[in-house]
Structure 1
């Protein structure tokens, strides 16, 4: 409630100063609401895989923070030679990403979250940051 100076009918200096501070704070809040959201910093993260399975293994990486899949566009990363393979992706810093891998033609033989991010996993997710994962070994 505003206190009035009864001699002139104007707010006291203390109340006027508080009103000015409140008006400035509200103006600043309104200005921030009009600013576009800044995108998270992009990072390049390398995922290292080695499959010891005798058949071709397909891999996708699934963001748990947004609706995004790598490599995307109905493509998959392919493991087919028993060698350590690197897949580099651009992701948003701090984004949670899980891998899903499966034997080509047999989605029931899977690692991580499997095909289409449909399975549960305990240690198949990483936080996006510049650098690389340890070698993720997929054993039969």
Structure 2
């Protein structure tokens, strides 16, 4: 009897709880082909979230390729913004602060990795 009551209680608890969005991992592959260092942020288009966050940026020296793994919600749209370090007027994708529109800088979080994103002058 106790076991049956516990199962009913557990089932009621689970039925009333909201299920979290399913998580996925995706890796952005960024290559800096600009002669100067570049800063990168990744912006969710579906929620208020930025990677790496905390007023930090991903930093790529000239000629450097970096794999940027992140956890995101399955199906979430993520866009990259990149700019020359010290020159936010020279940018790619959505630029600094996710302020610009872009036609080919967003990816859907479905796991795996992006193709190499080459930031060229």
Aligned residues: 108
| Residue 66, structure 1, aligned to residue 47, structure 2 | yes
> How far apart, CA to CA, are the structure 2 residues paired with 1:110 and 1:61?
13
Normalised by the length of structure 1, the TM-score is 0.74
Match for residue 112 of structure 2? 131
- Choose which of 52, 71, 75 in structure 2 pairs with 1:90: 71
Q: Of the two structures, which has the highest relative contact order with CA contacts closer than 8 Å and spacing of 6 or more?
A: 2
Match for residue 9 of structure 2? none
Normalised by the length of structure 2, the TM-score is 0.85
Correspondences of 1:1-140 after superposition (within 5 Å): 35-140=16-121
Secondary structure class of the residue paired with 1:116 = helix
2:36–2:62 Cα contact (<8 Å) kept: no
**Any stretches of 5+ residues in structure 2 without a counterpart?**
1-11
State the 1:81 CA deviation.
3.9
Stretches of 4+ moved more than 2 A in 1?
Answer: 34-37
Q: Cα RMSD between the aligned structures? A: 1.3
Secondary structure class of the residue paired with 1:87 = strand
**Any stretches of 5+ residues in structure 1 without a counterpart?**
1-30
- Report the structure number with the largest CA radius of gyration: 1
